[in-house]
Amino acid sequence: MRAPYRVGLLGLGHVGGALARRLIEDGERVASAAGRPIVLDAIAVARPEGRTAPAPLLPADAVLTRPHMDAIVELIGGIEPALTYICRALQSGLEVITANKQLIAARGPSLARLGPLRFEASVASAIPIVETLAETLAADRITSLMGILNGTTNSILDAMAEGADYADALADAQRRGLAEADPSADVDAHDPAAKLAILGMLAFRRRVDPSQIERVGIRGLDQRQLVEARERGLVVKLMAAARATGGASIEADVRPRLIPEGASLARVAGAMNAIAVDAAYAGTLELHGPGAGPDAAASAVLADLIRAARGTPPSAGELLASLADQPPATITPLGLQTPYPAAE
């Protein structure tokens, strides 16, 4: 078996902890899949005092400069200091695996030009949509995509359809750990807009500025709207959707929409995610799975680690790198009727 593939981990929160457990408790299966052992060599956390960890706890600078390291896994989130750490790692020749949707959406193309960048976990957690778009469908022509990309709002909308008001449904989601104390990234649709920007770049091979995607969140919905919609055979879902319009333009937005209850996306419940892709030759493909949770996200991070250890090219990163010199695509909203009527 080949020499171990040595990894430094930045961040030991819920996802980082789940990844560390998989690398240790499932080490033999991971090594078999990768063709070599994957070794967690060092971990950086913001406050190491009194913490125990399965590898040495070091400052981030020390992890980034540790000798014989092969890759850095960034699970800090946000823009800084993650951006600085990722740039340093890539510029020093390390592979980078990240789940940071905000950073990939905003800076992915320029970062991917610096070195091998992998980000399967940045969209829809365990659903393998990133490499599917970049590699499996690379020779196809994708005309549109849509999906439920935020499990928090999906759970809240389910509760409201059962009769809970927005405030109570949000509070319950916060108690269950599905929503942050400040839920604005989810309920104001910033989170699914970032994910849609990533998917749009991969699907349409155009650079997308996430700030240009129109978004309408769920704060303005009344519980009665959802109950009445259900009585009419409709389900309200926060839908992220985009389609290619030719040239340098893309239509895209995120907003609550009314979906017929017989449609497969209407049956996506709780924290689950789903993505439908329309391709010229492959046809319509739908992927469903857990869109949140430490184990689901760690599964996607581990898949990228295994690809890196095997020497598989970072297809999605290379695709983003090819977009770095493009001007951003012109983004216009899909509007109130397509792909489904807006629930507003």
Task: List the catalytic residues.
Answer: 195
What are the φ and ψ backbone dihedral angles of 218, each rounded to 5 degrees? -110, 0
> Kindly report the CA angle at 314 between 65 and 245, in degrees rounded to 5?
130
Judge contact between 339 and 254, C-beta under 8 A: no
First to last CA, the chain: 58
State the Cα–Cα distance between residues 128 and 202, nearest whole angstrom: 13
Using DSSP, state whether 110 is helix, strand or coil: helix
Its sign, for the CA torsion 291, 292, 298, 299, is negative
Sequence-ordered list of residues with C-beta below 8 angstroms from that of 268, at least 6 positions apart, any chain: 148, 154, 237, 274, 288
State the Cα–Cα distance between residues 172 and 221, nearest whole angstrom: 17
> Kindly report the CA angle at 118 between 116 and 121, in degrees rounded to 5?
170
Its sign, for the CA torsion 27, 28, 30, 36, is positive
Both tokens assigned to 182: 């400040």
State the Cα–Cα distance between residues 318 and 314, nearest whole angstrom: 6
Instruction: Say what the alpha-carbon torsion angle 69, 61, 82, 16 is, to the nearest 10 degrees.
Output: 60
State the Cα–Cα distance between residues 12 and 127, nearest whole angstrom: 22
